[in-house]
Amino acid sequence: MKNKPKVAFFSLTSDEGCQFTLLDLGERFFNLLKKVELIDFSLIEETPFPQGVQIDISFIEGNPIAKNEVSLLKKIREESKLLVVVGNCAAMGGIPKIKNYQGKEKTIRYIYKEIKNIPNPEVKRVKDFVKVDFTIPGCPINGEEFLKCAEDLIAGKIPEVCQSPVCSECPKRGTKDCFLARKKICFGLIARSGCNAVCTRGELQCFGCRGLIKGAKVKNLLELLKRFEGEKEVEAKLEIFGLKDDVKEHL
């Protein structure tokens, strides 16, 4: 056991969809676990955190929303050599971040009249709280990509980040079925691939859950999309996975 890297998976407030993506890999995920010493993964073991050991790689999904989660996140950072965020929530804020755009006080009042004791912080990315060493993007993450990245990380390498757009993996590219050819909002041209264009293959447009590629021609695409469906609609679609903030930073 001595030489195996110590690995942990943590889930902050989220739907845990990324953890389930890992479990859904079945045997292949459990084979990966044979190569490491598992320190924490709350879906399959009971030991409380922290255990007072230095963790080699911590994977984190979700957002710090509940009251102790910011301090938990900082503690994880302290105990980990590498901190890797997984999934759209941790990396970009995710669907819960839509409330920031609505005005979070308004959002919560749709649900509760009495809101005194409910933590309702602005939803932020993990990197707004602690240093992040690597990001595995997506909502949810792509299990195959995770396995590849994890193998690299376990071997002590930082994996390469894919910088080609979703269009490069999309079978509709250059055909009449392309959403752009149908004058519909699709962010495939500026969004990071590595998902095998799973959404567009399923006839759903790309809303950029994996973030922007380097050097993306954001302005050009957004101008085009505004002509298709109007500025308001483009803004609304940029909100879904929190791409709106990345676009703002990019422009």
Partner 1 sequence: MTKIIIPHIHKIEGEAGFWAEVTKTGEIEHLKIETLKGLRQIEGILVGRRVQEVPLIVSRICGICPVVHILNACRALEKALDIEVSKDITLLRKLFLASQIIQSHTLHLFFLSLPDFFDIENDLELMRRFKKETKAALKIRDFSLEVTDIIGGRKVHPVTPKIGGFLRLPEAEDFKKVLKDYSEIMDSAQFLAKTFENLSYPEFYRETNFACLNPEKEYTFLQSSSIIINNKKETVENFYSKEIEEDLKNPPVKRVKYHGQTYMLGAIARIKNNSQFLNPTAKKLFDDFKKKNKLSDNKFFGNIYHNLFCQAVEVLHFLEESQKLMQEIVERGIKEEKTEIQIREGEGISAMEAPRGTLLDHLAIDKNGRISSCDIITPTAQFLANIEEDLKILLPTILNLSEIEKRRKIRALIRIYDPCISCAIH
Q: Which residues make Cβ contacts (< 8 Å) with residue 239, sequence separation at least 6? A: 97, 98, 101
Using the rule CB under 8 A, is 213 a contact of partner 1? no
Candidates 74, 112, 122, 181; binder of partner 1 (CB under 8 A) is 112
- Say whether residue 202 binds partner 1 (CB under 8 A): yes
DSSP state of 216: -
Among 4, 74, 118, 182, binds partner 1 (CB under 8 A): 118
β-sheet with 6-11: strand ranges across: 37-41, 6-11, 55-61, 80-86, 134-136
Stretch that binds partner 1, among 1-9, 45-53, 167-175, 215-223 (CB under 8 A): 45-53
Binding to partner 1 by residue 175, rule CB under 8 A?
A: no
8 Å CB contact between 235 and 243: no
Binding of partner 1 by 39 (CB under 8 A) = no
Residue number with CB closer to partner 1 (40 or 158): 40
Residue 180 one-letter amino acid? L
On the CB side of 216, CA atoms within 13 Å amount to 29
CA distance 185 to 248: 18
We find the least distance from the C-beta atom of residue 75 to partner 1, in angstroms, to be 14
Q: Is 237 helix (H, G, I), strand (E, B) or coil?
A: helix
Site residues for partner 1 per CB under 8 A: 11-21, 23-24, 26-27, 30, 33, 38, 42-48, 63-67, 69, 94-96, 98-99, 102, 104, 106-115, 117-120, 139-140, 198-199, 201-204, 207, 236, 240
